[in-house]
Structure formats: structure tokens, C-alpha cells
Structure 1
Amino acid sequence: MEYRFSNVILNAKTQTLDVSDKKVVLEERALNLLLYLLDTRPKVCNQQELVAYLWPDSVVSPWSLPRLVSDTRSLLQRLGVEQDIIVTVRGQGYKFNPELRVIQQSAVDETQFNIEAISAEQNTQGAHLKFWIGLTLFMCTVCIWLVINHSFEHLDDNEFKASEPLDAIGRILWVDDNPKNNKKEQKYFLKHKIGVYNTTSTQEALLLLSMYEYNVVISDMGRQGEPLAGLKLLRAMRSRGDETPFYVYTWVESESQNTVIKSAGGQGVATKKIDLYEYVLLHFHNEIM
């Protein structure tokens, strides 16, 4: 199913949001939130109803839903959505903006339309052959698209993994091409109710930072054959005005490395687990206390 509203195209099948030719893949709960509000419009959905739908058979903190709504609104705003999509009804819940006109079109309708358009060519001499050739090409195109789409989904699953406690007090974005090396450290933060989101590339990290809010970024220094990948990520963040606290976690202890990171706008370098814990937990002090 495809929904068109404001300057947005929301495709439920591909889980993509297209805003003025800027296309992103939505996180599953953000997608489900928008689809639920669309499908139940103009109804006001209360918090209990939405929590039961978005977190089935789970116990979540009272602010899990408000945070999801806030993250989704922030993403829509950064993408350039012209109007408010999610409306808060004080004391009641949330609803889809009733002022927006929504156009729905199913994938079945689109396919049927294309087949009928091809069939119309049968009115000319030799059109019967053209019809079957066209239909065959159309089906091949669909199959190729499905294979490519599945491949990208599989790639995303391998590159980006997330883990967040139900009662999380915040989030860390961890950038490392060997995330298995940090299992013990990540378990430590999870025990302190801090969500950990892993990605292996600078490009993916910058995309995630543009879509969601994180309390801290932890990065390795060398990555995927690039010895200064961590420094380049930090400079890219600061050049975009992103002031999220940034730490490099590496095995090599070097005072000059620490100086370079701080001069680029980072908070520091840690080579020992205990130092990393101390640095990062400072940014969650109020929540932990």
C-alpha cells in the first residue's frame, strides 16, 4: 500500500518514506506508528492502544511512546515534510493530522493498471506478440527488483544491529567494523539501561545521526582500510553542526591521538574499558542517579 500526503510518499511494502525526492528506509516501529495512525484516522489513539500495538507482549517504560513520536517527528522535520503529520491531543493521545488529504493506492492496483496498459496494444497488428513480450519483461523487472530489494535488506541486517532495554535511559551509537570485539563493553552499558546501536560504516553512522538522536557516539579510529576513519567521522559530524559527545575507543594509547580528537571537537580517547565506562556514564549521570 502506498500513501501520499503533504509532500510525502509512504510505501508500506518497501518501508520507505519519500519526501521531495529524499528517500529513507524507516525503522520498523516508526513505520508502524505512521501506518496505524493513517489506517485509524481521524480517530484519536490513546497511549495504551498504541503501546499494545507497537510493543505487543512487552512491558515498556511510560516514555517509550512519547520518545518514538518525538524521534519520528524529528525525522520528518529533517527530511523537509511541509506540515505536521502527527497531532498530539492533550490528555487523550495522538492522531493523524486531519487537515491533510491522503491518497491511497495498493500495489495490486498499480500492477493491474500496468497490465491493462500493455494489453491495450493488442488492437494493432502483431500486438498479441508485443503483449506477451511486454508482460514477460514486466515480470522479469519485478523479479529483479525483489531480488535487489531483498539483498539490500539483508545487507542492512548485517551492517546495523540495535539493542535497547525496554526501560532505556538513552542511546549510544557505536561505529566499528568489528562490533564483536566490543561485546563485553556493550553488555555493561545495557545493564545500565543504555541502548546500544551498532553500525560498521561512517556513511551509515551519518545517516543514522540525521534520523535519530543519540546521547553518545563511540567509534574506532581505523576502519575498513582507512586509518583515520574515526577522525573523519568526527569532523563530518561537527561540520554538520552535530555536537553529540564523541569518543574514540582503540587499543593503541597515544597522547597525540587524544589531542587530535579533542582539537577536532571530540571528548577524548579511551584505551581501557574502565576509562570508557567512566567517560560515557558522565553523560547519563542524572538519569542513573
Structure 2
Amino acid sequence: MEYRFSNATLNAKTQTLDVEDKKIVLEERVFNLLLYLLDTRPKVCNQQELVAFLWPDSVVSPWSLPRLVSDTRSLLQRLGVDQDIIVTVRGQGYKFNPELKVLQQSPKDETQLNLELLSVERHSDGAHLKFWIGVTLLMCSICIWLIINHSFEHLNDKEFKASEPLDAIGRILWVDDNPTNNKKEQGYFLKHKIGVYNTTSTQEALLLLSMYEYNVVISDMGRQGEPLAGLKLLRAMRTRGDDTPFYVYTWVESENQISVIKAAGGQGVATKKVDLYESVLLHFHNEIL
């Protein structure tokens, strides 16, 4: 099923959103939120109803849903959706924008289309029949390949996901090509109800920062053969106006390194776990209190 609204198309089968020439696979809860509001329009969905649907059999903090709605709105805006999709009804909940016209369409599967063509040609001679059977088998093979390829893409997407407590007070984006090196440190933040999301490259980090909001970024300095990868990520963030607090967590600390990071707009460099904890927790001070 496809839903067309504004300048966007939501594909329920592939869990993708198309906005003009941009296409993205949506994170599961973002997709479920949009689909639920579409299917229940023009009804106003209260917070209890949405929380029960999006976090079944779970206890979440009161601001988990507002944060998800905020992240979803930010993502839609970055993708270039022309109009507001989610409307807040004060004191009641959320609903799909009633001003937008929604077109629902069930796109025909290519294999089904070829089978229909075969039906039309059923009175043709044997050569025609063999031709269409061959076309159908070819399309089936292509569909199977696409499904397998799509599955591998989703497996790769799991690299971006990490743990977030049900009552999380915020998020850290941790950029390191060997995330297993930081298990103890990440466990510490999780105990303090801070979600930790791992990624392994500058490109992936910048993509995630454009899609979601994080309270702090922690990065290694060198990775994947690039000794200044952390510094380049910091500069790229500041160049595009992203002022998320940034810390380098590395093995070797030097005065020059600290100076360079701070000159580029970073908050600091840490080589010890204790120093990292103290610095990062300052950005969650109000929430912890």
C-alpha cells in the first residue's frame, strides 16, 4: 500500500518515504507513527493510545513520544516535505494534518502484471506462451534478488542501532571504527539512563546527525587509516551549523591536540574514563537532577 500526501509517498511494504528525488528507509518507530496516524485519520490519537501502540508491553518516560514526534518532524523537514504532516492538538494528542489530501494506492507487483499478460495471451501460439513464461520467471528472479539485497541493507542498518533505556534522558552518538573497545564506558552511560548509538565512519555520523538529535558526540581521533578523522568530523559539523557538544576519546592526550580540538569548536579531549564521564554528564546535569 502506498500513501501519497503533500509532495511525499509512504510505501507501507518497503517502509520507505519518497520525497521528490529523495528516498529513505524509515526507522521502525518513525514509520509506525506515520502509518498509524494515516490509518486513523482524521481522528486525534491521545498519548496513551500512541505509546501503547509504539512501545507495546513497555514502560517509557513521559517525553518519549514527544521526542519521537519532534524527531519525525525534523526528519520530514530535512527531506523537503512541503507541509506539516503531524498536527498537535493541545491537551488531546496528535493527528494527521486534515488539510492534506491522501491518496491510497496498491501498486501492482511486476510478477502479477506479467501473469495478467500471460492470461491475455493464453490463446496465442506456443511460442508466445513460452516467451511470457520466460519473462515471468525472469521477473521472479529479479524480485527475489531485490528482497535478498534489501534484507542485507537492513542487516547493515543494525550497525547504527544501539541501546536506549526505556526512560532515557538523552542520547550520545559514539563514532569509532572499533565500538567494542568502549563497552564499559557505554555501559556506564546506559546505567545513567543515557542512550548510546554507535557508528563507524564520519559519513555515517553526519547522516545520523542530519536525521536525529543527539545531546553529545564522542569520537575517536584516528580511524580507518585516517589519523585526523575525528577532527574532520568536528569541522564538518561546525561548518554546517551543528553545535552539538563534541569530545574526542583517545589513548594519547597532548596539549596540542586539546588546542586543535577546542579551536575547531570541540569541547575537549579525554583519555581516562573518569574524565570522559565527568565532562559528558555535565550536558545531562538538569535531567539527572
TM-score bracket for the superposition, by shorter chain length: over 0.9
CA distance in 1, matches of 2:39, 2:280: 41
1:42/1:98 contact within 8 Å kept: yes
Shift of 1:163: 1.1
User: Is residue 204 of structure 2 the alignment partner of residue 204 of structure 1?
Assistant: yes
AA matched with 1:147: I
Q: Which moved more, 1:190-199 or 1:205-214?
A: 190-199
Shift of 1:239: 1.4
Shift of 1:54: 0.5
Aligned residues: 288
1:118/1:134 contact within 8 Å kept: no
- Alpha-carbon displacement from aligned partner over 1:80-132 (angstroms, at most 9, x marks no partner): 10011111111111111122222223356665345425655667764322211
Shift of 1:205: 0.9
Aligned to 2:273: 273
Aligned to 1:3: 3
Query: Where does structure 1 lack aligned partners over 5 or more consecutive residues?
Result: none
Aligned to 2:55: 55
Q: State how 1:29-40 maps to structure 2 within 5 Å.
A: 29-40=29-40
CA RMSD of aligned residues (A): 1.8
User: Is residue 144 of structure 2 the alignment partner of residue 143 of structure 1?
Assistant: yes
User: Is residue 21 of structure 2 the alignment partner of residue 21 of structure 1?
Assistant: yes
Q: State how 1:122-137 maps to structure 2 within 5 Å.
A: 126-137=127-138
CA distance in 2, matches of 1:109, 1:130: 19
Between the aligned residues of both structures, percent identity stands at: 78
After TM superposition, the score normalised by the length of structure 1 is 0.94
CA change 1:93–1:131 in 2 (3 A) is same
Q: Which moved more, 1:60-69 or 1:14-23?
A: 14-23
Aligned to 1:166: 166
Q: Secondary structure at the match of 1:162?
A: coil
Aligned to 2:88: 88
CA change 1:4–1:115 in 2 (3 A) is farther
Aligned to 1:177: 177
Aligned to 1:78: 78
1:87/1:95 contact within 8 Å kept: yes
CA change 1:177–1:282 in 2 (3 A) is same
Shift of 1:2: 2.0
CA change 1:261–1:117 in 2 (3 A) is farther
CA distance in 2, matches of 1:7, 1:110: 25
Q: Which aligned runs of 4 or more in structure 1 are off by greater than 4 angstroms?
A: 107-111, 117-125
